[in-house]
A = this chain, B = another copy of it.
Amino acid sequence: MSKIGIKDIASQSGVSSATVSRTLRSPELVSEDTRKRVLEAIKATGYKPNRFGASLRTQKSGNVVVVMPDITNQVNAGIIRAIESEAHKAGYCVLLGDTQNQEEREQHYADMVTSGQADGILIFTPNLPFSLKTDKPISEQLPPLVNSCEEIANDDIYKVVIDNKAGARTAVQHLLDLGHTCIAAVMGPKDTPSTLDRLAGYKQALTEANIEINRNLIIRGDYRTESGIEAMEKLLRLRHRPTAVFCFSDDMAIGAMNTLREYDYRIPQDISVIGFDDISYSKLMYPKLTTIRQPLEDIGRNCMRVLLEQLRGNKPAQKITELPFELVVRQSTGPVPR
């Protein structure tokens, strides 16, 4: 569009380009009246400094890239929204990296930060897409980086997390308190730390209650609705059906409830369902879903803050910032039948 550059402003207001740059970046260095003159010319022409010229010189892009497996997912969407908001406040732009679970794309977005197109990266997938050399400390080889949601198995990177194990334990304890003893679990994908932690919490709650763990009641899912549907179908075929199901995500819980309705089970009279996340649709389900709330906005905000801290050249105080979860009891869980 506009072809006007800093030099045009400079000549138009009778100063050098250096002064124009200064009026924009460090106004305190330029006298009041020249400043006014320059600002006027800028306003009159609608001049916007070209970012590439600036970036090339300063070696800062002003961008951060966020790598997510699926932005359509309510958890991810909620988080990225907060990230964007926080980034915007700090003058950063966010580059959206929806990986669709393809490694090639993860790599591609990671390259953006090594090629200088972004100054930092937020990773919500369980992989670290940077090749590391073993002869140097990891922290020296990585760009400003924060990891959340799907934990990367590496203790040397900054993370913002919730206590998944305790969250799961709380969920199961809630069911236990209602008298359930036959409690199924629908896990997340693969062997990601978050899923493993939740599984550990599930097991801990049961063993603490002296209930033996029944492998048939533990089903593998992938956090998505469809897998919740399938998991519940499997569970219903069991000779000893569970009276309660703990799904590791709300989406799966919603799927599970759909299956239950399909086969005429009443929730929670026949079977209780509890989820994990508290996405916005959970409270709109019928029955309203009991779940463990993740503070999505807080997670996003803190991710960005920890990243900003690094971008400013500081070392954040701690590697891990842990945020609180919360049991929110609604109507999908009730006392054990009989």
CB distance B114 to A48 under 8 Å? yes
Whether, in the assembled complex, A18 has its beta carbon less than 8 Å from a beta carbon of chain B, the answer is no
For the complex, give the distance between the alpha carbons of A96 and B71 in Å.
Answer: 11
Closest residue of chain B to A48 (Cβ to Cβ) is B115
Whether, in the assembled complex, A216 has its beta carbon less than 8 Å from a beta carbon of chain B, the answer is no
Closest residue of chain B to A288 (Cβ to Cβ) is B258
Closest residue of chain B to A142 (Cβ to Cβ) is B1
Of B51, B61, B114, the residue contacting A115 (CB under 8 A) is B51
Chain A contacts with B in 111-165, Cβ cutoff 8 A: 111-117, 131, 141, 143
Residues of B within 8 A of A285 (CB): 284-286
CB distance B98 to A85 under 8 Å? yes
- In the complex with contacts A225-B284, A255-B284, A284-B254, A93-B117 CB distance below 8 A: yes
The size of the chain A interface, using a CB distance under 8 A, is 53
Of B53, B63, B71, B261, the residue contacting A81 (CB under 8 A) is B71
Chain A contacts with B in 24-69, Cβ cutoff 8 A: 46, 48-53, 55-56, 61, 63
Interface residues as binary, A198-223 with B (CB distance below 8 Å gives 1, 0 otherwise)? 00000000000000000000000000
- Nearest-neighbour CB distance to chain B for A140, whole angstroms, equals 10
Of B1, B72, B112, B280, the residue contacting A78 (CB under 8 A) is B72
CB distance A116 to B71 under 8 Å? no
- Nearest-neighbour CB distance to chain B for A224, whole angstroms, equals 10
For the complex, give the distance between the alpha carbons of A98 and B77 in Å.
Answer: 11
For the complex, give the distance between the alpha carbons of A88 and B117 in Å.
Answer: 15
CB distance B98 to A96 under 8 Å? no
Interface residues as binary, A74-97 with B (CB distance below 8 Å gives 1, 0 otherwise)? 100110110011001000011111
Chain A contacts with B in 202-254, Cβ cutoff 8 A: 225, 254
CB distance B105 to A88 under 8 Å? yes
Residues of B within 8 A of A105 (CB): 88
Residues of B within 8 A of A88 (CB): 105, 108
Whether, in the assembled complex, A314 has its beta carbon less than 8 Å from a beta carbon of chain B, the answer is no
CB distance A96 to B80 under 8 Å? yes
For the complex, give the distance between the alpha carbons of A70 and B2 in Å.
Answer: 29
Whether, in the assembled complex, A281 has its beta carbon less than 8 Å from a beta carbon of chain B, the answer is yes
Chain A contacts with B in 162-216, Cβ cutoff 8 A: none
CB distance A261 to B281 under 8 Å? no
Whether, in the assembled complex, A11 has its beta carbon less than 8 Å from a beta carbon of chain B, the answer is no
Whether, in the assembled complex, A100 has its beta carbon less than 8 Å from a beta carbon of chain B, the answer is yes
Enumerate the 4 nearest inter-chain pairs by beta-carbon distance, A residue then B residue, closest first. Answer: A48-B115, A286-B286, A52-B56, A51-B117
Residues of B within 8 A of A97 (CB): 84
Of B74, B255, B261, the residue contacting A72 (CB under 8 A) is B74
CB distance B77 to A116 under 8 Å? no
> What would 14 more interface pairs be, CB under 8 Å, given A51-B116, A56-B56?
A51-B117, A52-B56, A53-B56, A70-B81, A71-B77, A71-B81, A74-B74, A80-B96, A84-B96, A93-B112, A93-B117, A258-B286, A281-B281, A286-B286
For the complex, give the distance between the alpha carbons of A84 and B281 in Å.
Answer: 25
Residues of B within 8 A of A225 (CB): 280, 284
